[in-house]
Amino acid sequence: MFIDEIKFHIKTGRGGDGVVRWLHLKGKEFSGPAGGNGGRGGDVYVRAVRDIGLLSKYRHTDKFEAENGENGKSKSQHGKNGVDLFVNLPIGSVVSNIKTGKKVELLKENESLQILSGGNGGLGNEHFKSSININPKEFTKGKPGEEADFQIELEMVADAGFVGFPNAGKSSLLNALTKARAKVGQYQFTTLDPNLGDFYGFILADIPGLIEGASEGKGLGHKFLRHIKRTKIILHCLSFENENLKKAYDTIRKELGAFGGELLEKKEVIILTKTDLVDAEVLEKAKKELAGLSEHIFSVSIFNDESIKNLSDNLAKMMRAK
């Protein structure tokens, strides 16, 4: 089960307590205070890893906690600091503190960002020694660490993303252009989760089909619209199963704009799919009708290797030029 949104309660480590101890030396039984300070509680970091399905592995986990600091020791020894906690999250994750609204984004592999600080360790009685307080019995306890509830939202980082109506041929194209094995079916909403494929070192994303009203929550696409936000190129698939290609195009563009105006500013490639359903005359008419919408219009059929190669070669040139 693919999960792209989840909530966690995360807690840092508590600082260890300072202690009251006395130094005992041969021939000098009471040699003064020797209580060490407590160790600092572990901090919490989020770390980006290349695993788009990682949030699904956390579906039965709702709490994370860093290690507490160790209490101080005798002979002026300080307690060990608690081990920092690193919570691995997929690249593209947006981590939001639910109470404060503060957000951090993980955009690079192995990038680590601190989100909470562990508690300070307490002070041992040696710390309070002075010329007027030679045998202090004071000490302080360790401080509690920070804790908070966080919401994790995955916004995939892909070089190009396929968009379009359900059953527009997006998954088939992803499979044809990459080594992906996205599920393909002769019915709508075959794709329930985003699929990724490696395309000459670039990442292509197949976004579940959009329908009219998707930006308002209709259908399945709204949940995944945010995954298009970080793509450099939008690959707009228009199937010849649609009676009116221009209307289909305008509908999807309207939903992209309603979700976020910046989506309309991205480079767009129009891909006319399932050309095996029409003759050459209908194909040429469609190209002329859509000619003013994008400088890049391609027509493909997964049953025509030449059309797939033409798309692949040109798409590779465009992505290398970005």
CATH number assigned to the domain comprising residue 41: 2.70.210.12
Q: Which of 155, 188, 220 is the last residue of a domain?
A: 155
Give pLDDT, residue 227: 72
Q: Which of 133, 155, 177 is the last residue of a domain?
A: 155
Q: How many domains does the structure of the chain reveal?
A: 2
Give pLDDT, residue 262: 81
Pair 165, 291 in one domain: yes
Compute the distance between CA of residue 124 and CA of residue 139 in angstroms, rounded to an integer: 5
Pair 140, 177 in one domain: no
Pair 205, 259 in one domain: yes
Give pLDDT, residue 287: 93
Give the residues across from 85 on adjacent strands: 44
Give pLDDT, residue 264: 87
Domain residues for the domain of 185 are: 160-321
Compute the distance between CA of residue 273 and CA of residue 37 in angstroms, rounded to an integer: 69
Q: ∠ CA 176-319-194 to the nearest 5 degrees?
A: 50
Q: Return per-residue pLDDT of the chain as tens, 322 residues.
A: 668 899 999 999 999 999 999 998 876 766 789 999 999 999 999 999 988 789 989 999 999 999 999 999 999 999 999 999 999 999 999 999 999 999 999 999 899 999 999 999 999 999 999 999 999 999 999 999 999 999 999 887 788 988 888 888 888 898 899 886 755 544 444 444 677 888 988 888 887 655 444 444 444 445 556 777 778 899 999 999 988 999 999 988 988 888 777 888 889 999 999 999 999 999 999 999 999 999 999 999 999 999 999 999 999 999 888 6
Give pLDDT, residue 27: 66
Pair 10, 73 in one domain: yes
Pair 3, 119 in one domain: yes
Pair 201, 183 in one domain: yes
Give pLDDT, residue 39: 98
Pair 202, 279 in one domain: yes
Compute the distance between CA of residue 38 and CA of residue 153 in angstroms, rounded to an integer: 37
Alpha helix (H) ranges present in the chain? 54-57, 170-177, 245-259, 280-290, 305-321
Pair 49, 120 in one domain: yes
Contacts 24+ apart (CB under 8 A), 137-141: 137/20, 139/17, 139/18, 139/19, 139/20, 139/35, 139/72, 140/17, 140/18, 141/17, 141/18, 141/38
Is residue 66 within 8 A of residue 85, CB to CB? The reply is: yes
Pair 149, 173 in one domain: no
